[in-house]
Amino acid sequence: MAALIRRVGRCGLRADTGREPFESLVRAIAHQQLHARAAEAMLGRLVAHGDGGFPTPSALLALPDAARRAGGFSGSTAAAMRAVCAARLAGVVPTRRQAVRLSDEELIARLVALRGIGRWTVEMLLIFSLGRRDVMPVDDFGVREGYRRINGLVVQPKPRVLAEATAGWSPYRSFAAWYLWRAADGPKPPASCPPAF
């Protein structure tokens, strides 16, 4: 890890602390199983229905199905977005002010019950929206791949193994995850390396 930090340099992890959890979750749902550019284009069409900003949960729920289809979202994606909107209005999805008072595990337990929201999605919310410093998303492919590369492993570690191996990096595991993503994005091993079977 020290060699990776020296190679990559200063950590560039930044949280978008002005974004409400509701918006972060809707955006995360839009990005599921889509290329980032496609998701952003579709979100742009969705935001066009807002009043100069991201639409409120009520405004999104009030959108006719034709408008959602015109935005390009699949039926299941639109249903997951509607579920998040309804959960925000019911108080299940907290405001930013409420969220900062909840622990990581409290937020995860509350939000994974929603359609289309898994632990990884909530962990991305914790890191990139709420700025939590001690989150290790062990289910993330890039994090596991980065760990595999810096440790010269043949296969990626299982999530439980990775959680145990990185426990000592607490309370800065979010920063460690950022570096592991950089390792996963780095150059591939030379062709002379034996294949990983």
Q: What is the pLDDT of residue 41?
A: 86
Identify which of 136, 130, 128 has the alpha carbon closest to the alpha carbon of residue 107. Answer: 130
d(CA 79, CA 82): 5
SS3 113: coil
Amino acid in the structure at residue 120:
W
Higher pLDDT, 4 or 50: 4
Residue among 16, 104, 140, 185 flagged as catalytic? 140
What DSSP assignment string belongs to 30-82?
Answer: HHTTS-HHHHHHHHHHHHTTSSSSSPPHHHHHHS-HHHHHHHT--HHHHHHHH
Higher pLDDT, 65 or 165: 165
What is the per-residue pLDDT across 106-156, written as a single tens digit (0 to 9) for each?
999 999 999 999 999 999 999 999 999 999 999 999 999 999 999 999 999
Tell me: pLDDT of 66 over 80. Answer: no
Query: What mean pLDDT is predicted for residues 61-74?
Result: 75
pTM for the model stands at 0.85
CB 115 within 8 A of CB 79: yes
Indicate if 139 belongs to the active site.
no
Amino acid in the structure at residue 66:
A
CB 170 within 8 A of CB 132: no
Q: What is the pLDDT of residue 45?
A: 82
Query: What are the Cα distances from residue 116, in Å, to 17, 29, 31, 74?
Result: 23, 7, 11, 12
Q: How does residue 195 score in pLDDT terms, banded at 50, 70 and 90?
A: very low
Q: What is the pLDDT of residue 192?
A: 38
Return the percentage of the chain with pLDDT > 70, whole number.
90
Q: What are phi and psi of 73, to 5 degrees?
A: -80, 140
Domains, the chain, in order of start with CATH, read: 21-128 (1.10.340.30), 137-185 (no CATH)
Q: What are phi and psi of 185, to 5 degrees?
A: -85, -10
Q: What are phi and psi of 128, to 5 degrees?
A: -95, -15
Among the residue ranges 13-17, 65-69, 78-82, the one predicted with the least confidence is 65-69
Among the residue ranges 31-40, 63-72, 121-130, 168-177, the one predicted with the least confidence is 63-72
Q: How does residue 48 score in pLDDT terms, banded at 50, 70 and 90?
A: confident
